Amino acid sequence: MSEVESRNFIEQIIDKDLAEGVYDTVHTRFPPEPNGYLHIGHAKSILLNYGLAQEYGGKFNMRFDDTNPTKEKEEFVESIKEDIAWLGADWEDRLFFASNYFDDMYEAAVKLIKKGKAYVSDLSAEEIREYRGTLTEAGKEDPYAKRSIEESLRLFEDMKEGRFEDGEKVLRARIDMASPNINMRDPVIYRVAHMHHHNTGDKWCIYPMYDFAHPIEDAIEGITHSICTLEFEDHRPLYDWVVRELEYPHPPKQIEFAKLYLTNVVTGKRYIKKLVEEGIVDGWDDPRLVSIAALRRRGFTPESIKKFVELCGVSKANSSVDYAMLEYCIREDLKLKCPRMMAVLNPVKLIIDNYPEDQVELLSAPNNLENEALGSRQIPFGKELYIEREDFMEEPPKKYFRLFPGNEVRLMNAYFVKCTGCVKDENGKVTEVHCTYDAASRGGNSPDGRKVKGTIHWVPVKEAIKAEVRLYENIIDEEKGVYNEDGSLNLNPNSLTVLKECYLEPSFADAKAYDRFQFVRNGFFCVDANAFGVSAGSPDDNLVFNRIVSLKSSFVLPKKED
């Protein structure tokens, strides 16, 4: 895959700005509202902003957009910082809180009033909506728009001093009630809200509106390119109006790009929050979610997410990306990095009748056939092994090349074994598979040129480590419909399968939280960090693995357009 790509539209804008001397540096920021955990869409925005700063030798700021005290929480501030650091975006010493600029914003509002560009209005929210007009009809003049500058200054001061109830007065920008853009029809820029703020406490009872606050935050920090998503396109004229009227010497520029959506999963903070609050998933980091915390717990790497957002590109058109593309990226990233080990997820015993009773021999196995640097390991082999239940069939269909009475297969890295039969319980369930081995086939090599069609993996019974394994399917199956008739999400009932009795080869003994492995034939897995160490002292019952991704996919990398 070629790494050389044509410059995206944002790079083109920046190139032009630098060439024309509009800016002489690039300074970006990521401005999350601390009202939830970040998700894969935010990862795109973070990596885009950070990546541009790096590419142009500029700076990247981290800024909490915490101007709305209702929904914001300290817990989210911490999780967001952790997630961004994990992704590798470094804000150095530039961690900011928009709420630290409340004084500047207040001063900015006063400046607008003094210029005759803002006024205090007594209209209720309801009346403001009525006066605003529609897409086809101009708005009506606010009866309070004629208020003198002095009176507005005094009333705005009174708003700040807490002399009004919530909703009693607002500050509006004076722009154009007849503008075809509704956002320009004298937007509210300050409101009264007697609310406690997580950072400023009870100091303020007036709070700025987003469209007024955001350009000020950008301008104060010296941001050059303020990148946001498409829903703000119609707000850009207001953004420009604010920075122009406040006469900032180096006005920042807003650029919009399309949000990232993924098929078959839930993106959107609001929807993820609902699943968490309704207890449908096990917290914000449930591995079925695509929050950054969930992707990390599931076993995704920062590199895989970076690769993914690069492949997605930046665009002005909304679209959904196939979840399979994210899976492709993690497979590509892990295939050379992870050791390939044996783990049996759905076990049945295999007994080698002609193998000496108490003999144990150590067999060598390469850790990764495509990457010799990962070396090899020794695995104990004995008379009793675990194999996958599906690797034996008493009455096999055509083209089944694994164990069935009379058939010979290779035990991976070990020996040829020939199936002699099985033992069943009173319900007809197979409890043991029996076979004989050919001692001359040590290492899994044919002693005389005879061929076997199947190779299966195994784990020695005596030395096996028991573990729980969790398999995931997408939380939504878009082919079956995203929503139910009542508007609720149509969730996949099979999104989580818990396998309580899985056996791993003893080389897993040192596995730690977040360690990743390829389980032969079964996919890539990661040690669950939440379960790890829960009952310290008994490693056997707290080792839990999440399947990151299975091995195969029908996904084909889309061709890049020129």
Check binding of 192 to ligand ATP (CB under 6 A).
no
Residue whose beta carbon is closest to Mg ion: 33
Q: Is 367 in the site for ligand ATP (CB under 6 A)?
A: no
Stretch binding ligand ATP (CB under 6 A), from 30-38, 171-179, 376-384, 526-534: 30-38
Phi then psi for 174, rounded to 5 degrees?
Answer: -95, 105
Task: Kindly state whether residue 42 participates in binding ligand ATP, applying the rule CB under 6 A.
Answer: yes
Q: Which does 460 bind (CB under 5 to 8 A by kind): Mg ion, ligand ATP, none?
A: none
Q: How far is the CB of 81 from ligand ATP (least distance, A)?
A: 13
Residue whose C-alpha is closest to residue 505's, from 387, 379, 325, 397: 379
Comparing CB distances to Mg ion, the nearer of 33 and 432 is: 33
**Integer CA distances (angstroms), 209 to 74, 129, 232, in order:** 21, 16, 14
> How many degrees, rounded to 5, is the angle at CA 366 between CA 389 and CA 384?
35
Nearest residue (CB) to Mg ion, 83 versus 142: 83
Q: Are 232 and 442 in contact (CB under 8 A)?
A: no
Q: How far apart are CA 263 and CA 494, in angstroms?
A: 17
The interface region with Mg ion, picked from 29-37, 128-136, 194-202, 518-526 by CB under 5 A, is 29-37
270/429 with CB nearer ligand ATP:
270
Q: Residue 67 to residues 31, 35, 49, 108, 204: CA-CA distances in angstroms?
A: 11, 11, 21, 15, 11
Assign 3-class secondary structure to 392-443: ECCCCCCCCCCECCCCEEEECCCCEEEEEEEEECCCCCEEEEEEEEEHHHHH
Cβ-based nearer residue to Mg ion, 33 or 310: 33
**Buried residues in 449-460 as b, exposed as e (16+ CB within 10 A):** eeebeebbbbbb
Given the complex with ligand ATP, which of 37 and 524 has the nearer CB atom?
37
Nearest distance from residue 193's CB to ligand ATP, in Å?
19
Q: Is 296 exposed, middle or buried, given 0-12, 13-18 or 19+ CB atoms closer than 10 A?
A: buried
Contacts with Mg ion: how many residues (CB under 5 A)? 1
Coil vs helix vs strand at 373: helix
Binding segment for ligand ATP among 27-35, 235-243, 278-286, 385-393 (CB under 6 A)?
27-35
Q: Name the one range near ligand ATP by CB under 6 A: 40-48, 177-185, 299-307, 495-503.
A: 40-48
Per CB under 5 A, the segment of 27-35, 282-290, 368-376, 489-497 that binds Mg ion is: 27-35
Kindly give, in sequence order, each residue whose CB lies less than 8 Å from that of residue 526, ignoring residues fewer than 6 positions away. Answer: 297, 298, 299, 514, 515, 516, 517, 545, 546, 548
* Residue 405: HSE in the Cβ half-sphere, 13 Å Cα cutoff: 8
Residue (267 or 413) nearer to ligand ATP, CB: 267
Q: How far is the CB of 270 from ligand ATP (least distance, A)?
A: 5
The interface partner of residue 402, options being ligand ATP, Mg ion, none and the CB cut-off 5 to 8 Å by kind, is none
* CB 36 within 8 Å of CB 269: yes
Site for ligand ATP contains 228 (CB under 6 A): yes
Q: Rule CB under 6 A: is residue 41 a binding residue for ligand ATP?
A: yes
Rg (CA), the chain: 31
413 binds, among ligand ATP, Mg ion, none (CB under 5 to 8 A by kind): none
Q: Are 238 and 226 in contact (CB under 8 A)?
A: no
CB-CB neighbours of 222 under 10 Å: 16
Q: Is 229 in the site for ligand ATP (CB under 6 A)?
A: yes
44 makes contact with ligand ATP (CB under 6 A)? yes
Does the footprint of ligand ATP cover residue 32 (CB under 6 A)?
yes
Residue range at the interface with Mg ion (CB under 5 A); choices 32-40, 299-307, 429-437, 504-512: 32-40
Whether the Cβ atoms of residue 322 and residue 359 lie closer than 8 Å to each other: no
Pick from 45, 67, 68, 301: which binds ligand ATP (CB under 6 A)?
45
What does 434 bind: ligand ATP, Mg ion, none (CB cut-off 5 to 8 Å by kind)?
Answer: none
CB nearest ligand ATP: which residue? 41
d(CA 412, CA 34): 51
For ligand ATP, the closer of residues 45 and 522 by Cβ is: 45
Q: Contacts with ligand ATP in 252-281 (CB under 6 A)?
A: 259-260, 267-270
Which range binds ligand ATP by CB under 6 A, 25-33, 95-103, 115-123, 390-398?
25-33
The percent helix, strand, coil of the chain (3-state, each to 5) is: 30, 25, 45
* Residues making contact with ligand ATP (CB under 6 A): 31-33, 41-42, 44-45, 228-229, 259-260, 267-270
* Residues making contact with Mg ion (CB under 5 A): 33
